[in-house]
Amino acid sequence: MSDIDRILSADPVIEPSANFAARVMGQVREEATAPPPIEFPWRRFLPVAITCAAVLLIAVGLAVANFDPTAVPVQPEAELLPAFDVALLSQPSAIAAIALIGSLLVAWLATRFAALPSRELF
Amino acid sequence: MMQATSTLRSMDVVPTTPRYDDDGLAANRVLGGDIDAFESIVERWQGPLVNLAYRYCRNRGEAEEMAQEAFMKIFKGLGKWRQDSRFSTWLYAVAANHYRSAMRRRRPVWADMETIEQLVPGGDRSQEVDKTSQAEAIRRAVASLPPKYRDVTVLYYFQDEDLAETSRIMSLPPGTVKARLHRARKMLETKLSTLLQTSPLQEAHQ
């Protein structure tokens, strides 16, 4: 048997503190009596998530279906720059952007709504 | 200062009047909602788990903290114990796994060879002090091994050099445990070559 074996086989014992078991049991009881973790509000989240996804899909679908590169008039760069044009709303990308903003707004409202105490909801 | 009274083997620590002599019975009571039955498990295993933690971190306060966390993991995971395996094997596996994670989060204070060299005996100290220093240097050197070698070494000696039980706790084939132990010993011999060459332990042994 080498020195290493002999020394490692003869590691000294340490005694746990007198209140160690009590401390552990205190924590165990605390854990056992703690209220269960708050469940994720799937009931509220799912309809909103499905609505958002549907809106987004419809918007993307519309954008793809209406996309026609030949229909976009080639204009000089200077004419494309004006920030907002009513004609812009007819572009598929604009529809998609509006749908996206709408989805984000609904999601934000949902989070605000979910943060309210349940008694204020019902 | 820690109370070092004798050597520890994993099963040496005798529980203090546990309510349930059988871990399986206590575990089933806990699973049935009797939280107090867990106290029997804590009382029975506090010594071994604190000492196993101490072998990882070499710090008493930290060892108790790690053991307490391990007990919480055991309490929460009690339902996962498959009762066809020994309770002690499962308990040590959960604890060793937790200690390994805890050590990963810690600053690797033991990896410093200078610290180990400082523990190598000086010329003007007594042989008894030298022996203690050498033993401490070897234990620190074990703690400074790469985790996969350290874990096997710590558990193997803690389990009274029981290769089969060590391999069960670590969920490793016995051959892998043996190979890692061999490699760990070689690494320790290399690290501690100068220390072991001048060892009073060796001199006393010759």
ipTM metric: 0.71
Length of chain B equals: 206
Residue B123 and residue B177: Cα distance in Å, rounded?
38
Contact B37, A24 (CB under 8 A): no
Q: Which of A24, A31, A33 to mutate to test the interface with B (most CBs of B within 10 A)?
A: A24
Rg (CA), chain A: 32
Nearest chain A Cα distance for residue B104, angstroms: 22
Q: Do B146 and B165 share a domain, yes or no? A: yes
> Do A24 and B72 lie within an 8 Å CB cutoff?
yes
Residues A42, B63: Cα–Cα separation, whole Å = 41
Q: Give the global pTM.
A: 0.63
Q: Which of B11, B44, B50, B160 to mutate to test the interface with A (most CBs of A within 10 A)?
A: B50
Whether residue A20 and residue B50 make contact (CB cut-off 8 A), yes or no, is yes
Q: Smallest Cβ distance to A13: which of B51, B185, B202?
A: B51
Tokens describing residue A49: 């998530």
> How long is chain A?
122
- Report the alpha-carbon distance of residue A65 to residue B54 in Å, rounded: 68
- Last residue in a domain, options B105, B129, B149: B105
B77 and B55 part of one domain: yes
What pLDDT is stored for residue B200 in this prediction? 47
Give CA–CA dist B166/B174, Å, rounded.
8
Q: Which domain holds residue B75?
A: 20-105
Spatial contact of B7 and A9, defined as CB atoms under 8 Å apart = yes
Q: Which of B105, B132, B159 is the last residue of a domain?
A: B105
Report the alpha-carbon distance of residue B65 to residue A28 in Å, rounded.
14
Of B71, B158, B202, the CB nearest to A3: B202
Q: Which one of B157, B185, B205 makes the best mutation probe of the A interface by having the most chain A beta carbons within 10 Å?
A: B157
Distance from the Cα of A45 to chain B's closest Cα (Å) equals 29
Tokens of A44: 């509220």
Q: Do residue B33 and residue B100 come from a single domain?
A: yes
Instruction: Indicate if B118 and B152 belong to the same structural domain.
Output: yes
The token pair at B50 is 């604190």
Instruction: Based on the fold, state whether residues B122 and B147 are members of the same structural domain.
Output: yes
Distance between CA atoms of B175 and B69, rounded to whole angstroms? 31
Alpha carbon distance B205, A5 (integer Å): 14
Q: What residues of B are in contact with residue A24 (Cβ under 8 Å)?
A: 42, 46, 68, 71-72
Of B36, B54, B138, the CB nearest to A14: B54
Within 10 angstroms of residue B142's Cβ, the number of other Cβ atoms is 26
Q: Are B87 and B38 spatial neighbours (Cβ–Cβ below 8 Å)?
A: no
pLDDT confidence of residue A86: 55
Q: Is residue B52 part of a domain?
A: yes
Q: Rounded to whole angstroms, how far apart are CA atoms A114 and A20?
A: 42
User: Residue B72 is inside which H or E element, if any?
Assistant: helix B60-76
Number of domains in chain B: 2
Per-residue pLDDT for chain B (206 aa), expressed as one digit of tens each? 344 444 444 545 444 445 556 888 899 899 998 999 999 999 999 999 999 999 988 889 999 999 999 999 999 999 888 877 889 999 999 999 999 999 888 765 544 455 555 555 544 445 555 667 778 888 888 888 899 999 999 999 988 888 999 999 999 999 999 999 999 999 988 888 766 665 544 444 44
Q: How far is the C-alpha of B138 from the C-alpha of B202, rounded, in Å? A: 14
Residue B203 within a domain: no
What DSSP letter does each residue of A52-120 carry, written as one string? HHHHHHHHHHHHHHH--GGGSPP--HHHH-SS--GGGGGSHHHHHHHHHHHHHHHHHHHHHHHHS-HHH
Residues of chain B numbered 5-24 and touching chain A (CB < 8 Å): 5-8, 12-13
Q: For residue A85, give both structure tokens.
A: 């044009």
Q: Are B129 and B70 in contact (CB under 8 A)?
A: no
Q: B121: distance to nearest CA of chain A, Å?
A: 15
Query: Taking CB atoms and an 8 Å limit, are B72 and A27 in contact across chains?
Result: yes
User: B105, B138, B169 — which closes off a domain?
Assistant: B105
**pLDDT attached to residue B204:** 43
The CATH number assigned to the domain holding B73 equals 1.10.1740.10
In chain B, whose CA is at the least distance from the CA of A4?
B138
Torsional class of B34: left (φ above 0), alpha (ψ -120 to 50), beta (otherwise) = beta
Question: Which of B:21-80 have CB within 8 Å of A?
Answer: 35-36, 38-39, 42-43, 46-47, 50-51, 54-55, 60, 63-64, 67-68, 71-72, 75-76
Nearest to A11 among B36, B60, B139 (CB): B139
Cβ–Cβ < 8 Å for A20, B30: no
Query: Could A23 and B50 be called an inter-chain contact, meaning their C-beta atoms sit closer than 8 Å?
Result: no
**Average pLDDT, consecutive stretches of 10 residues, N- to C-terminus, chain A (122 residues):** 78 89 94 84 85 85 78 57 55 76 84 65 46
Which residues, including other chains, have CB under 8 Å from residue B36's CB and lie 6 or more apart?
A25, B19
Kindly report the CATH number assigned to the domain that includes residue B155.
1.10.10.10
Residue B81 shares a structural domain with residue B128: no
Q: Which residues face A12 on adjacent strands? A: B7
Residues B25 and B101 in one domain: yes
Note the pLDDT of residue B191: 82
